[in-house]
Amino acid sequence: MKDIELLAPAGDLEKLKMAINYGADAVYLGGEEFGLRAKAKNFSIDEIKSGVQYAHERDKKVYITLNIIPHNEDLEGLEKYILDLEKANVDAFIVADPGVFSIVKKVVPNMEIHLSTQANTTNYSTANFWHQQGVKRIVVARELSLEEIENIKNNTLDTLDIEAFVHGAMCISYSGRCLLSNYMVGRDANRGECAQACRWKYNLVEEKRPGEYYPVYEDDKGTYIFNSKDLCMIEHLPKLIDSGVKSLKIEGRMKSSYYVATVIRSYRMAIDAYLKDTKNYKYNKEWLNEIKKASYRDFTTGFYFDKPNSEDQLYGSSSYIRNYDFIGLILDYDKENKLATVEQRNRVFKNDKIEIFGPNKGFYNQEITEMFDEEGKEIDVAPRAKQIFKIKVNKPVEKWDMIRKAREE
């Protein structure tokens, strides 16, 4: 049980470092090809090398997504790319397609392979088949209950690991195999270009009455009929772990560094509390309150306890709830003068009331009483993106700590 892994998304190098610093045991990321997040910044080979070095120096792991459902032309260059990734010393590949799997086994036979949720593994027979082929880990389909996951674990070898999503956006198509984006705008979700057409607003049109739009339910503004709530299982981590899940996966390679840090930090605290004393573990509602200080939709437990129903959908809006703004990343701290050097992320003013938080610790509140530019001149506002400025802080801070501010509205 001590080997439980918290697995974080990394959309770029900063997010990789943020995830690791805030408590992730491993990160998963995509290169510039062959992954399912084409709109993320993603990593060049050199950036992957840097990220792997950063992770390994801290005894963390890096997994690379090769999980597109490829057409013939998508296979061009794959073998060279796989060899480049092996030289970068990555820890595992995440694959979904049997053809990609076979190429990986041929080119880098000793590479650890994880089977993506895109492969739709929903039973122990399929899991055993893939383990016999050389798959080390199964990322189970999101459509499984805890009982089904436990059944898979009980009917597979101990050498096969189970990974499951525990937090983030939910796809309305079976394990993400969606055709809406392709049909609507010609962007193939299964080749990394999903337009999230499921979150658009829809009305009903009868075939012989073109132009007459009927709401799917009684609201003249229409409805977001396919729009799921976001998954959140932080209240139920003991049940997930007890079901046999080894790796707890957070969704969100397109999300911000602030989101990654905030969510990972809460799950880290919850996992550590459970593993420290499983018999006397108590859920702390502050972990969820902290998660809600990043952007979020309303939450659901997905399929884990029962099949989703109308309560798990968001019919009124596809927008995120944002109660806090990330306003700065702390780069340095002058202990003698109690000054924090900050990289601005959203506009911040003197006299703003802020919260400062960081890895492995809580947060505290203070008011900004003094602000200075890089030359030491006193200022009243830091308006420019990534502007470097300094503020007087009430308590010691560290590099990678973050500053947030409640939104006035």
- What is the per-residue DSSP string for 102-151? HHHHHH-TTS-EEE-GGG---SHHHHHHHHHHT--EEE--TT--HHHHHH
**pLDDT per position as a tens digit, 339-385:** 999 999 999 999 999 999 999 888 999 999 999 999 999 999 999 99
What topology is assigned to 324-406 in CATH?
A: Elongation Factor Tu (Ef-tu); domain 3 (2.40.30)
Q: Which residue type occupies 203?
A: N
CA distance 250 to 252: 7
313 strand-pairing partners: 228
Virtual torsion, Cα 185, 41, 330, 289, nearest 10 deg: 40
- Stretches where the chain sits below pLDDT 70 are 1-2, 34-41, 171-181, 183-184, 188-192, 198-199, 202-203, 213-226, 308-320, 409
Asked if 393 contacts 338 with a C-beta cutoff of 8 angstroms, the reply is yes
Give yes or no for a contact between 1 and 275, defined as CB atoms under 8 angstroms apart: yes
Cα distance between residue 121 and residue 142, in whole Å = 9
Q: What is the pTM (predicted TM-score) of this model?
A: 0.85
- DSSP state, residue 292: T
The pLDDT of residue 183? 58
The tokens for 201 are: 């607003």
Give the residue among 239, 58, 83, 68 at the shortest CA–CA distance from 164.
239
| Cβ 103 vs Cβ 82: under 8 Å | yes
Dump the DSSP string for 155-201.
TS-TTSEEEEEEEE---SSGGG---HHHHHHS--GGGT----GGGS-
pLDDT at residue 218, as a whole number = 42
Q: Are 53 and 42 in contact (CB under 8 A)?
A: no
- For residue 406, the SS3 value is strand
> Measuring CA to CA, how many Å separate 324 from each of 154, 309, 320, 353, 405?
43, 30, 12, 12, 5
- How far apart CA 243 and CA 241 sit, in angstroms, is 5
Size of the chain in residues: 409
Helices (H), 1-44: 13-21
pLDDT at 17: 97
The domain limits of the chain are 5-172+227-312, 324-406
Position 278, amino acid:
T
Beta bridge partners of 214: 204
- Residue corresponding to tokens 């709830």: 321
Each residue's pLDDT tens digit, 296-322: 888 889 889 977 665 655 555 656 688
The two three-digit tokens of residue 52, written as one number:
């792997």
Give CATH superfamily name and number for 5-172+227-312: Aldolase class I (3.20.20.70)
**Distance of alpha carbon 383 from alpha carbon 88, whole angstroms:** 39
